[in-house]
Amino acid sequence: MPTSVLVVSDTHVPQKAKAVPSAVWAAVDRADVIVHAGDWTGLPLLDEFETRARLLIGVRGNNDGPEFDDRLPEVVRTTVDGVRLAVVHETGAKEARETRMDRLFPETDLLLFGHSHIPWDTTTPAGLRLLNPGSPTDRRRQPHATYLTLTLDAGAIRDVALHELPVKGAGILPHPRMST
């Protein structure tokens, strides 16, 4: 049976945002698996995700204090619906990212990461899919705050969609640059 996945990162609540947008919470309620690629910044947000998610896979980011150390690892490697995935907050500079990630995650199908607040979707020469959801709360230099949804199904990664949040409000618009 296919597994629906919500991917978020860099929420920075409460330091840079007061709350996670309602559209993201609605997506949390619909998803089978929630992945958070770090920079939560507040433990109450982690508690809320743990309460609401059916299954939460999360890592800590560079802005997460020592209080996160006992609750979240820096890297997660797991298999979900036949897809070997890894989650990490930071992958380094975009130059040569694909080559570096092939070397660091050789037996991985999907690497989910954050840190830059900039959506990313590429496939490495070895076939590793790299996805960054951007940030649903801190768009930085991007026109919109964003998050990702995707489906994992018997070893396949399908239906990858980048969702844009309006600068004011919480609508969901699929992003044309992201494809399956």
Q: What is the pLDDT of residue 92?
A: 86
Q: What is the pLDDT of residue 145?
A: 96
The pairs formed by 63-68 with CB atoms below 8 angstroms and a separation of 24 or more are 63/12, 63/15, 63/39, 64/38, 64/39, 64/40, 65/41, 67/43, 68/40, 68/43
Residue 159, judged by CB atoms within 10 A of its CB (0-12, 13-18, 19+), counts as middle
Q: What is the pLDDT of residue 109?
A: 98
Yes or no: say if 14 and 42 are a contact pair by the CB < 8 Å rule: yes
Q: What is the pLDDT of residue 140?
A: 87
Cα separation of 160 and 156, whole Å? 11
Convert the chain into a string of H (helix), E (strand) and C (coil).
CCEEEEEECCCCCCCCCCCCCHHHHHHHHHCCEEEECCCCCCHHHHHHHHHHCCCEEECCCCCCCHHHCCCCCCEEEEEECCEEEEEECCCCCCCCHHHHHHHHCCCCCEEECCCCCCCEEEECCCCCEEEECCCCCCCCCCCCEEEEEEEEECCEEEEEEEEEECCCCCCCEECCCCCC
Domains and CATH numbers, the chain: 3-174 (3.60.21.10)
Cα separation of 161 and 125, whole Å? 22
Q: What is the pLDDT of residue 168?
A: 63
Q: What is the pLDDT of residue 180?
A: 46
pTM of the predicted model, to two decimals?
0.91
Per DSSP, what are the bridge partners of residue 110? 85, 129
Q: What is the pLDDT of residue 167?
A: 74
pLDDT in tens, the chain (180 residues): 899 999 999 999 998 899 999 999 999 999 999 999 999 999 999 999 999 999 999 999 999 999 999 999 999 999 999 999 999 999 888 899 999 999 999 999 999 999 999 999 999 999 999 999 999 999 888 999 999 999 999 999 999 999 999 876 444 444 444 544
